[in-house]
Chain A
């Protein structure tokens, strides 16, 4: 049983389109992080959210943490080919400081 479910698993869109990816769990998180991983590289941290209901923006990326701290979403506006990559969510559960990773959403933005 996976603690963190990410959806969709794969997403192929045209440049300029908007998209949202989701990260869900039945457990409560003390904090949640989003990473992007490009081929041949390790994951790179995009954002950390810690407060229920929190919204953070990073240029065209908007991150939201659910009120109950069990889910999160990442919305990309006007996607560009440079956004292509594997998007991973990772959570610290209340019971442990260790990071639990989701299985990822593989995004392809076609020019």
Chain B
């Protein structure tokens, strides 16, 4: 238990569906992250929020829409996804994004997404 929870743990959706992934951290951190982990590619950073402000969008397609209503919660809204978007989506949190070498990221267990 790392203090970062994600729901749902598994999600199967069609290409025309709209769904949302939720992440919650209980660590009092100010930075939250979304990562994508595919079978054949390294873990890829998608978005970074620092004190509820988005500070990084790593060229992510607009069919992925993040939302950070407060420092403890992070959402990833999904719509009209493609089969190649099937992956493990990991959320992480840290004290403050940008503290070189001293800021540890704590990961949630991930949501395994399958797009049919």
Contacts and interface: CB of A to CB of B under 8 A. Distances in A.
Q: Do A and B bind?
A: yes
Nearest to A45: B104
B80 to A, nearest CB: 27
A42 B100 contact: no
Contacts of A99: 45, 105
Interface stretch (A55-63, A75-83, A101-109): A101-109
Contact of B100 (A41, A44, A92, A104): A92
A66 to B, nearest CB: 16
Chain A contact-residue range equals: 20 to 34
A2 B42 contact: yes
A44 B56 contact: no
A42 B109 contact: yes
A48 B2 CA distance: 17
B101 interface: yes
A31 B108 contact: no
A42 B110 contact: yes
| Interface range on chain B (Cβ under 8 Å from partner) | 20 to 34
Given A44-B2, A97-B103, A98-B45, 18 more contacts: A4-B42, A40-B109, A41-B109, A41-B110, A42-B2, A42-B90, A42-B107, A42-B108, A43-B107, A45-B106, A48-B104, A88-B43, A90-B43, A92-B100, A97-B98, A99-B45, A101-B43, A104-B42
30 contacts: A2-B42, A30-B100, A31-B100, A31-B101, A40-B109, A41-B110, A42-B90, A42-B91, A42-B92, A42-B110, A43-B43, A43-B90, A43-B107, A44-B2, A45-B105, A48-B104, A50-B101, A88-B43, A97-B98, A97-B100, A97-B103, A98-B48, A99-B45, A99-B105, A101-B42, A101-B43, A101-B44, A103-B41, A103-B42, A104-B42
